[in-house]
Amino acid sequence: MSSTVPSLAQMRASLPPEKDRLDSLWLRFVLRKLSFPVTWVFIRLGFSANYVSYLSMLVVFGGTILMSIDDYFARMLGAFLFNFWVLLDCVDGNIARVKQQVNAYGEFADAMSGYIAYAFVFLGMGIAAEHTKPIMPGVMNQMNFVVMGALASICHLTTRLLYKKFVEVTGQPTLGSGTKPNILFTNIGITGLLMPSVLVSAIFGWLHWVTLFYLFCWGGAGAYFVVTKIIAVERSTQL
Amino acid sequence: MLESNKNDKRKKVSARDICQCYTSEKARSDMVAQTWIYLVLRPISFYLTPLFINLGFSANTVTCLGLFPLLGGMALILLGSHSPLNFTIGAMLVNIWYLGDAIDGNIARFQGQTSKFGAILDWLVGMLYHTFLPVCLGLGLYLASPERAMLALGLDFPKWIWLLAGAVRLFAELLREVVSLGGRKIVGLKIVDQIDSKAKISLKDILPRIFPNFEIPLLLVSSLVGVLGFFLLFYTIYNLAILAGMILLALRKALLADQQRTKEGENL
Over the stretch B90-113, which tens digit does the pLDDT of each residue have?
999 999 999 999 999 899 888 887
ipTM over 0.90: no
Boundaries of domain holding B186:
2-267
Is residue B21 pLDDT above 50, yes or no? Answer: yes
Nearest to B108 by CA among B6, B216, B213: B6
Given an 8 Å threshold on Cβ–Cβ distance, is B117 in contact with A234? yes
CB within 8 Å of chain B, chain A residues 104-143: 104-105, 107-109, 111-112, 115, 118-119
pLDDT average, residue stretch B18-27: 86
Q: Confidence class of residue A7 from pLDDT cuts 50, 70 and 90?
A: confident
Stated length of chain A = 239
pLDDT tens digits for range A174-229: 555 567 777 888 888 888 899 999 999 999 989 999 999 999 988 888 888 778 77
What is the rounded radius of gyration, in angstroms, for the C-alpha atoms of chain A?
A: 19
The rounded distance, in Å, linking the Cα atoms of A74 and A79 is 9
Task: Give me the number of domains chain B comprises.
Answer: 1
Q: Which residues from B are below 8 Å from A162, CB to CB?
A: 124
Nearest CA-CA distance, residue A228 and chain B, Å = 12
The pLDDT score that the predictor gives to residue A2 is 45
pLDDT average, residue stretch B233-252: 89
**Interchain CB contact of A200 with B (< 8 Å):** no
Nearest to A105 among B120, B131, B251 (CB): B251
**Residue A226 to residues A184, A221, A229, Cα–Cα distance (Å):** 18, 9, 6
The pLDDT score that the predictor gives to residue B163 is 86
The pLDDT score that the predictor gives to residue B91 is 96
Given an 8 Å threshold on Cβ–Cβ distance, is A157 in contact with B175? yes
The pLDDT score that the predictor gives to residue B6 is 54
Is residue B153 pLDDT above 90, yes or no? Answer: no
Nearest CA-CA distance, residue B268 and chain A, Å = 18
The rounded distance, in Å, linking the Cα atoms of B171 and A116 is 10
SS (H, E, C) chain A: CHHHCCCHHHHHHHCCHHHHHHCCHHHHHHHHHHHHHHHHHHHHCCCCHHHHHHHHHHHHHHHHHHHHCCCHHHHHHHHHHHHHHHHHHHHHHHHHHHCCCCCHHHHHHHHHHHHHHHHHHHHHHHHHHHHHCCCCCHHHHHCCHHHHHHHHHHHHHHHHHHHHHHHHHHCCCCCCCCCHHHHHHHHHCCCCCHHHHHHHHHHHCCHHHHHHHHHHHHHHHHHHHHHHHHHHHHHHHHC
Nearest to B174 among A161, A169, A237 (CB): A161
Q: Confidence class of residue B198 from pLDDT cuts 50, 70 and 90?
A: low
Mutate to test the interface with B, among A53, A105, A115 (most CBs of B within 10 A): A105
Task: List the CATH number of the domain containing B219.
Answer: 1.20.120.1760
Query: Around Cβ B229, how many Cβ atoms within 10 Å?
Result: 25
**Residue A84 to residues A54, A95, A183, A186, B233, Cα–Cα distance (Å):** 13, 16, 22, 18, 35
Q: List residues in chain B touching A: CB distance below 8 A.
A: 115-117, 119-121, 123-124, 127, 131, 167, 170-171, 174-175, 177-179, 181-188, 247, 250-251, 254-255, 257-258, 261
pLDDT tens digits for range A138-171: 777 777 888 888 889 888 888 888 887 777 777 7
Is residue A87 pLDDT above 60, yes or no? Answer: yes
Q: What class does CATH assign to A2-238? A: mainly alpha
Please indicate whether residue B232 or residue B181 has the higher confidence score (pLDDT): B232
Nearest CA-CA distance, residue A157 and chain B, Å = 7
CB contacts < 8 A (A, B): 87
Given an 8 Å threshold on Cβ–Cβ distance, is B117 in contact with A237? yes
**Interchain CB contact of A167 with B (< 8 Å):** yes
> Residue B110, class by beta-carbon neighbours within 10 Å (0-12 exposed, 13-18 middle, 19+ buried)?
buried
Q: Confidence class of residue B7 from pLDDT cuts 50, 70 and 90?
A: low
The rounded distance, in Å, linking the Cα atoms of B108 and B126 is 17
Given an 8 Å threshold on Cβ–Cβ distance, is B185 in contact with A168? yes
Nearest to B119 among A153, A161, A169 (CB): A169
Q: What is the largest CA-CA distance in chain B?
A: 70
Nearest CA-CA distance, residue B197 and chain A, Å = 21
